[in-house]
Structure 1
Amino acid sequence: MAVTLSEAAARHITKFLAKRGKGIGIRLGVKTTGCSGMAYKLEYADEAEAEDMVFESQGLKVIVDPKSLPYIEGTELDFAREGLNEGFKFNNPNVKNECGCGESFNI
C-alpha cells in the first residue's frame, strides 16, 4: 500500500518547492507525542536515505521512514482551505481514535 498526495496537496507542495528553490518532495512520518499517542511530522525533503520508502504520487516523491510506515500506510495527504484556515489533512485509514484538538492519534 502506498502513501499518496491529493491534487490539492501536490499543487501546494510543488508551489512551495519552487519558491524554496530546491527539494524532491516531502518526508512524512510519525512521532510519539500528544494526548492520543502519535502525531504526524511533515517536512520538505532534499534527498532520501537508503532505508527510506519512496512513493511517487502526482509527480512528487513522498518519503517515509521504515518505522513510520506501518502507522501511515495507505494515507492520503490532502491540502484544504476552510474559511481563513488552510493546511494539510491526513486521511489515514489506520486511525482508530484522535484527540479532541486533532493534533494526535492512535492506531
Structure 2
Amino acid sequence: MSRPAIMTMSDNAADRVREIVGRADPPIAGLRVGIKKGGCAGMEYTMDAVTDPDPKDEIVEASGARVFVDKAAVLFLLGCRMDYEVTKFRSGFTFQNPNQVSACGCGESVELKAAAE
C-alpha cells in the first residue's frame, strides 16, 4: 500500500516547474521546497534548484514535474498544495497549507505548526 504524497501540485505549478527545469542551464533535476526561519511571522518557504538530489528528500511528482521536499520541512508541509499564480501585480508559487497558523500582512512569511503524524 503506497502512502499519500507529502504535498500536491496544481497543474499551473507543475507547468511552471517543468518550464524552469527545461530552461535551466546547467541542467537541474528539479526544485527543492523547504522552509527557513525568517520574516515577521517566523517562517518562509524556500525554493532552490536541485542539481544533486539528496536521497533523504521526499519526491513529489505531478504531470512530469518533480519537486523535492527538504526532509527538515516534511512535517510542516504535510497536506500542502503548491500552486503557481499570475496576477496583475505579481507571479509566483503559492502554498495552501493546512499547517499554517497565521501569515504576516505582506504575505512573505507564515507561522507554521508541525503536522501530527
**TM-score when normalising by structure 2:** 0.82
User: Match for residue 19 of structure 1?
Assistant: 23
What is the match of residue 97 of structure 1?
102
The amino acid of 1:47's aligned partner reads D
CA distance in 1, matches of 2:71, 2:99: 16
- Report the alpha carbon displacement of residue 98 of structure 1 after superposing the two structures with TM: 0.3
Q: Tell me how far 1:7 sits from its aligned partner.
A: 0.6
Asked if residue 67 in structure 1 is aligned to residue 72 in structure 2, the reply is: yes
| Residue 43 of structure 2, aligned match among 31, 38, 50 | 38
User: Any gaps of 5 or more consecutive residues in structure 1?
Assistant: none
The answer to whether structure 1 residue 6 and structure 2 residue 10 are counterparts is yes
Q: Report the Cα distance in structure 2 between the residues aligned to 1:30 and 1:41, rounded to whole angstroms.
A: 5
Rounded Cα–Cα distance in structure 1 between residues aligned with 2:88 and 2:70: 33
Letter in structure 1 aligned against 2:49: Y
Q: TM-score, normalising length from structure 1?
A: 0.89
How many residues are paired up? 107
The one-letter code matched in structure 1 to 2:46 is K
Q: Distance in 2 between matches of 1:5 and 1:44?
A: 17
Where do 5+ consecutive residues of structure 2 fail to align?
Answer: 113-117
Any runs of at least 4 consecutive aligned residues in structure 1 with deviations exceeding 3 A, and if so which?
none
What is the distance in 1 between the residues matched to 2:52 and 2:80? 21
Q: Take 2:71 and 2:21, find their aligned partners in 1: how far apart are those partners? A: 24
1:58 to 63, 78, 84: 63
SS in 2 for 1:70: helix
Per-residue deviation, 1:58: 2.3
How large is the Cα RMSD of the aligned pairs? 1.4
> What SS class does the counterpart of residue 99 from structure 2 fall into?
coil
